[in-house]
Chain A
Amino acid sequence: MAACAVRNRKARVNKNKKKSWRKHVDIKEVEDYLEEKRVEEKTGGPVSEKPDEALFYLHKKNNPQENPGKEKSWKKPLRCHDILLPNSAVVPPIKPCQRRFVSGKKNRLRALRKASNLKKKKKYHEERTTKEPQLNRQVSDPDIWKDDESNVKEEDFVTYYNEITRKRTPKIPNHHYQKPSLLPPIEVPHPGASYNPAFDEHQELLQEALTKEMKHEHEDKKLQRALKVNLCEPEFLQKMWLSEMSQGLDDVVDEPEDDTVEEQLKSSYIRPEVRKTKSKRRREKERKLQKKKSDEEKLKRKRDHEVYRLRSIKRDISSSEEMSKARQQRKQQMLAGKMYRPLRLGRYKFQEQDLELNLTEELTGSLRSVKVDGNILEDRYKSFQKRNIIEPRVRQKMKRKYKLKRLEKRSHRDFK
């Protein structure tokens, strides 16, 4: 019973009786809430229904009158900086920052330099901001050929000065003023290429195109004929197979006998021991001298007798001159012809473009329904190549160093 008493510190209260209502129930919270409500009613309504102006006010101006004491305090120097101030009241006789012996001129120069620096900086900044990229470039002097009429020759030193200061280009090589080709830039079209051509001229043009096509065909056929191999015949195939299979078999050669080899070897290595005697040498020398003498005489005789050969000599000379002249002319013509044909300027040869023409069926008599053939851009491009201004170019295909590997994703491969 004592344990029960200890455990049950709190006495069991019966809340049903009036007595416990007064004594043992805590109504603090309710009372607080009610108190709050009463206060709200006293102050003019619940807070949530009050307007913003009743609850808040904007603090706009910094009212110095609010805290007059605080303002002064932050303007004062800090106490920790007091150590830096002089601690004696004695005034120093010389101010430490002032320089000695300052002249007015230097001051003036310095001022000028500063001013010019400023100007340069300003100019630099101006240039940078006012630069405008524009394609219709405005030139200072749009008439660049004005000097043609004046015909004033510059003096030597002026040209030298211009060259040194790079105001004038260096001497232009003479071949710059020669055209690379004498072909006309715009070639006059064949009269059959008119949009409404005359019958004869149109026929001529068609004939030209036909001859070109026939030439191409002829070349193709020639190639085909040259490369024609009858691979279908079995005999031919047999022969080829036989020749291919017996490639390495023909190298077998009969071995020669050993004796002959040895003898040959011997004869090639062994030198006969022969010595010339003195008399022999002497005789050889004499013979040599004689020979030389007789040769000289022969030559002299020939020379003397050449007088009688004058006419034939003249003929020879004139013929060789003619030949050389002819060769020179041919060379000149070749060089002149260079100006009228497309040269081989690079890796690729010049490919002529096809003739532009309209077949008879495509000819309509009216300008409105004309069938246009031939692209002018392509024509201009080819014309530049023909006139040796640019070298013929071919569009490069992309070359891969290593072959592309194509793999299937495992998930895709195993998909069923």
Chain B
Amino acid sequence: MARKPKKKGESGAATTYISRKQALKKLQLSLKDFRRLCILKGIYPVEPNNKKAVNKGSSVPRTFYYLKDIQFLAHEPVILKFRDFKVFIKKLRKAIAKNNPDTAQKLRNNQPLYKLDHIVKERYPTFIDAIRDLDDAISMCFLFATFPKSRIIHAELVHLCKRLTVEFMHYVIESKSLRKVFISIKGYYYQAEIMGQLVTWIVPHPLSYCHPSDVDFKIMITFTEFYTTMLGFVNFKLFHSINLYYPPKLQEDLALEDDSELFDRDDLMSEAVAALNHSLKSVVKDSEEEEPQFDEFPQQEDQEKMDLAQKEQVKIQKLQKLFKGLRFFLNREVPRESLVFIIKAFDGEVSWDKTLFVGATYDESDETITHQIVDRPNVNKQYINRYYIQPQWVYDSINACMLLPVEDYFPGEILPPHLSPFVEEKEGDYIPPEKQALLDMQKGLKKDIRQKQVDSENEEEKSDEEQNSSEENSEVDNEELTKPGKRKSSSVIIDEEAEKKPKMTVKAGQFEPEDINAAERQGREERKLVEMMIPKKKKRLYDKIMYGQRRKSREAEHLKVKRAEFDRNQKLEKRLSRGK
């Protein structure tokens, strides 16, 4: 049997893709509605590999979608709602033009609205899928909660976003899942661990709204609409997973002060919930929290991994009780919402001035306050038995997983730098000295950065010999560090150096280099022998790897030299200023 002749443009790439204009025609929608539908349903444009074949020979850049996607879109019931809305607009316009205010009002009362619940279920068939996409949703909701109402952004949307974000923060507080915080110039970054997934989001600084000129607001509002729906369901599920009522109810009923005619009870309760300071009512009564014990598995491979996991678990449990027993008071000029959130998330107690916001539990004059957070350079200190600190102390303590010494953060002091917790340095990378000091502190050494600086200054002033010896020490250790490929040995050296730093005497300096050198030399020789045995084919690859590592260490050296110079200059300036 003869086959029908194959024609060009009938099968293959030309029929799997469809251009946007054709899609509009097929679905009978306007461009605005089509874009909205694509955003809601999660249909994204694609770039085909062979654009010319799909575009029928021309190379005009066009937007393409999968034909299957558009066919799938055609079954969506929300399209009918779009068409109803178009009809509604026509009727409304006619009623207004003909001066029928009653008809117009009736029409507005029966405005057609669309629901997105089935779309959420379709896009996220399981709960964990929704948690994976939570980053975007939460950031958008936090962002829109700070917007003013305008012609395009409705007040209801802003209030809805605010309510959802408050509920999510309550969940994070109750489940103690916050792990990392970072303040950047763009906003506050938070990272929490929810159901095993790491969720990162950004919250803008509490400053006034500035309107960007080249952002399409309609698109962002469509995204937010979908994300608010999704977040509502996610919140419900999260709250039920830790046995809390949803919508959240407070554990104790608040006493109404003054006039109850001035405000609604509901408003007061919602404001109190938004204050994040009160605990929520639980579905399960009399629940005593027991610390979850680590399961012991007998005869499991990778005993090291198990140990590591156990250590991690202990660390996280310690972190969750970081601020237990501490009572904070926030001054007026510090960012209240962010600080309340993170302090409550780590088991601390916090309050603020009564006139600022609803929900303040204790006054400034309370005797049991342990820390007061101020941001002004000079504070007329009134109370003796509390520390006055700058807000960075809280953030840095959380990132360091321990309570840092308070002396560095007194008001008026130059703060130590706020390091990013998201940076994970591998060995051989350059670690700035501040971070090094932090790591040392975490390992349990009693010295902190300032103490080290004072020490070094004292050394300079007292005797140069000691300094020389310590410098020699550090130089030798630096050499060891920059030798490539000796991971284990270099870590040993770092530990040794760290331990020996307190004993900076001439004797120790004389003894050490010889001891290490002998063992080192043997190790190096053995390594060279092994290297010679590598076959030629693999030697090239090995050389490339080595080259890369050596380059990295060279860059680290370079940065260290730069930093040393900077420090030297700083010291010189200090000396000069003091000399004056």
What is A's interface to B at a CB cutoff of 8 Å? 128, 131-133, 135-137, 139, 142-145, 148, 166, 169-170, 172-173, 175-176, 180, 184-186, 188-191, 193-201, 203, 338, 343-347, 356-358, 365-368, 370-381, 384, 388-391, 393-395
Binds A, one of B410-418, B453-461, B463-471, B520-528: B410-418
Does B127 lie within 8 Å of A186, measured CB to CB?
no
Q: List 9 A-B contacts (CB under 8 A).
A: A137-B229, A170-B75, A175-B66, A185-B133, A198-B434, A346-B61, A370-B185, A380-B143, A388-B47
Given A135-B160, A367-B391, A374-B186, A381–B66 Cβ distance below 8 Å? Answer: no
Closest 9 CB pairs of A and B: A191-B420, A198-B417, A374-B186, A343-B47, A188-B422, A185-B135, A196-B418, A145-B127, A368-B375
Q: Which of B213-221, B263-271, B439-447, B473-481 contacts A (4 or more CB under 8 A)?
A: B213-221
A128 CB → nearest B CB, Å: 7
Known: A169-B118, A176-B42, A389-B44. A380 touches B66 (CB 8 A): no
Whether A373 contacts B186 by the Cβ 8 Å rule is yes
| B185: contacting residue among A169, A200, A347, A373, CB under 8 A | A373
Closest CB in chain A relative to B267 CB, distance in Å: 15
Partner-contacting stretch, out of B1-9, B197-205, B306-314, B493-501? B197-205
Is the CB of B548 closer than 8 A to any CB of chain A? Answer: no
Binding stretch for chain A, among B105-113, B291-299, B342-350: B105-113
With CB as the reference atom, state the residue of chain B lying closest to A356.
B186
| Contact residues in A for B219 (Cβ distance below 8 Å) | 381, 384, 390
Q: How large is the interface on B (under 10, 10 to 19, 20 to 34, 35 or more residues)?
A: 35 or more
Q: How far is the CA of A170 from the CA of B41 in the complex (A)?
A: 14
User: Out of A139, A142, A201, A381, which one reaches B220, CB within 8 Å?
Assistant: A381
Residues of B within 8 A of A189 (CB): 182, 184, 186, 189, 420, 422
Nearest residue, chain A, Cβ from B20: A346
A133 to B84 alpha-carbon distance, docked (Å)? 15
Q: Would A194 and B417 count as touching, CB distance under 8 A?
A: yes
CA distance A236 to B29 in the complex (A): 59
Q: Compute how far the CA of A205 lies from the CA of B72 in the bound complex, rounded to whole angstroms.
A: 46
Q: B233 at interface (Cβ–Cβ under 8 A)?
A: yes
Given contacts A346-B63, A375-B210, contact A194 B183 (CB under 8 A): yes
Interface pair A194/B184, CB less than 8 Å apart = yes
Which chain B residue lies CB-closest to A146?
B237
A residues near B415, Cβ cutoff 8 Å = 196, 365-366
- Name, among A135, A191, A374, A394, the residue most crowded by chain B CB atoms within 10 Å (CB to CB): A191
- How far is it, in angstroms, between the C-alpha of A109 and the C-alpha of B42 when the chains are bound? 53
Q: Which residues of A contact B335 (CB under 8 A)?
A: 367
Residues of B410-438 contacting chain A, CB below 8 A = 414-415, 417-420, 422-423, 430, 432, 434-435
Known: A145-B233, A188-B422, A198-B417. A367 touches B183 (CB 8 A): yes
B61 CB to closest chain A CB (Å) equals 5
Complex: A389 Cα to B143 Cα, angstroms: 19
| Interchain CB contact under 8 A, B122 and A377 | no
CB–CB A380/B139 < 8 A: yes
- B184→A346 contact, CB < 8 A: no
- B186 and A173: CB pair below 8 A? no
Task: Establish whether residues B189 and A393, one from each chain, have CB atoms under 8 Å apart when the complex forms.
Answer: no
A144 and B61 in contact, given A194-B418, A196-B417, A366-B390 (Cβ under 8 angstroms): no
Q: Are A376 and B204 in contact (CB under 8 A)?
A: yes
B318: Cβ under 8 A from any A Cβ? no
Report the minimum CB–CB distance from A292 to chain B (whole Å). 31
Structural contact, B185 and A371, CB atoms closer than 8 A: yes
Does B334 sit at the interface, judged by CB under 8 A?
A: yes
The distance from the CB of A375 to the nearest CB of chain B, in whole angstroms, is 5
- A380:B140 contact, CB within 8 angstroms: yes
Q: Would B419 and A136 count as touching, CB distance under 8 A?
A: no
Contact call B61/A344, Cβ cutoff below 8 A: yes
- Asked whether A139 lies within 8 Å of B117 as measured between CB atoms, the reply is yes
Residue of B nearest to A331 (CB): B49
Q: Which of B519-539 contact A (CB under 8 A)?
A: none
Q: Which residues from chain A contact B32 at a C-beta distance below 8 Å?
A: none
Q: Is B566 an interface residue (CB 8 A)?
A: yes
What residues of B have a CB within 8 angstroms of the CB of A380 in the complex? 136, 139-140, 143, 220
* Neighbouring A residues of B334 by C-beta, 8 Å: 367-368
When the two chains form their complex, are residues A357 and B185 in contact, meaning their CB atoms are under 8 A apart?
A: yes
In the complex, which residues of chain A have a beta carbon less than 8 angstroms from the beta carbon of B111? 133
Report how far A357 CA is from B185 CA in the complex, Å. Answer: 7
Q: Residues 233-266 of chain B: 1 if any A CB is under 8 Å from the residue's CB, otherwise 0?
A: 1001100100000100000000000000000000
**Contact A144 B233, beta carbon cutoff 8 Å:** yes
Distance (Å) between the CB of B62 and the closest chain A CB?
7
State in angstroms the CA–CA spacing of A327 and B375 once bound together: 61
A143-B237, A198-B417 known; A367 vs B186 contact (CB < 8 Å):
no
**Judging by beta carbons under 8 Å apart, are A193 and B184 in contact?**
yes
> Could you say which residues of chain B place their CB within 8 Å of the CB of A198?
417, 419, 432, 434-435
Query: Taking the nearest CB of chain B, how far is it from the CB of A302, in angstroms?
Result: 36
Contact (Cβ within 8 A) A346 B45: yes
In the bound complex, residues from chain A placing their C-beta under 8 Å from that of B559 are: 200
Given contacts A139-B115, A194-B182, A380-B143, 17 further A-B contacts (CB under 8 A): A137-B117, A142-B232, A142-B246, A145-B126, A170-B72, A173-B68, A186-B201, A193-B186, A194-B417, A345-B46, A345-B63, A366-B390, A367-B183, A367-B392, A377-B143, A381-B220, A395-B213
Could you tell me if A199 and B220 are in contact, using CB atoms closer than 8 angstroms? Answer: no
Residues of A within 8 Å of B448, CB to CB, are none
B333 at the interface (CB under 8 A from A): yes
Decide yes or no whether B401 CB sits under 8 A from chain A. Answer: no
Closest A residue to B420 using CB positions: A191
Contact A391 B186 (CB under 8 A): no
For the complex, what is the distance from the CA of A314 to the CA of B75, rounded to whole Å?
A: 56
Give chain A residues whose Cβ lies under 8 Å from the Cβ of B246: 142
Q: Is the CB of B185 within 8 A of A356?
A: yes
Are B186 and A376 in contact (CB-based, < 8 A)? yes
Task: Verify if B304 is at the interface (C-beta below 8 Å from A).
Answer: no
Q: How far is the CB of A369 from chain B (nearest CB, A)?
A: 9
State the CA gap A87–B504 with chains docked (Å): 142
| List of A residues within 8 angstroms of B130 by Cβ | 145
B136 interface neighbour in A173, A185, A343, Cβ under 8 Å: A185
* A-chain residues with CB within 8 Å of residue B236 when the two chains form the complex: 142-143
Whether A379 contacts B186 in the complex (CB less than 8 A), given A368-B333, A370-B205, comes out as yes
**Residues in chain B near residue A390, CB distance under 8 A:** 35, 39, 44-45, 219
Contact call B392/A372, Cβ cutoff below 8 A: no
CB distance from B476 to the nearest CB of A (A): 23
A169-B118, A193-B186 known; A393-B216 Cβ under 8 A? yes
Asked whether any CB of chain A lies closer than 8 Å to the CB of B53, the reply is no
Most chain B beta carbons < 10 A, residue from A172, A200, A391: A200
List chain A residues, Cβ under 8 A from B135: 184-186
By a CB distance below 8 angstroms, the chain B residues around A172 are 72, 122
Are A196 and B392 in contact, CB atoms less than 8 angstroms apart?
yes
Give Cα A356–Cα B185 distance, bound, in whole angstroms: 8
A residues near B160, Cβ cutoff 8 Å = 135-136
Measured between alpha carbons, how far is A356 from B123 in the docked complex, in Å?
Answer: 34
Q: Which residues of B contact A381 (CB under 8 A)?
A: 215-216, 219-220
* Chain B proximity of A174: nearest CB distance (Å): 10
Contact yes or no, A200 B430, CB < 8 A: yes
Q: How far is the CB of B152 from chain A (nearest CB, A)?
A: 13
Interface pair A372/B205, CB less than 8 Å apart: yes
The answer on a CB contact under 8 Å between A195 and B185 is yes
Is B121 at the interface (CB under 8 A from chain A)? yes
* Residue numbers in A under 8 Å from B46 (CB-CB): 343, 345
Chain B: CB-nearest residue to A204: B559
CB distance from A234 to the nearest CB of B (A): 43
Please judge, given known A-B contacts A145-B127, A170-B72, A172-B122, whether A135 and B237 are in contact too, CB under 8 Å: no
Return chain A residues, CB-CB under 8 Å to B62.
346-347
Give A132 Cβ to nearest chain B Cβ, in Å. 8
Whether a CB of chain A sits under 8 angstroms from the CB of B69 is yes
Contact yes or no, B566 A199, CB < 8 A: yes
Question: Could you say which residues of chain A place their CB within 8 Å of the CB of B95?
Answer: none
A334 → chain B closest CB, angstroms: 9
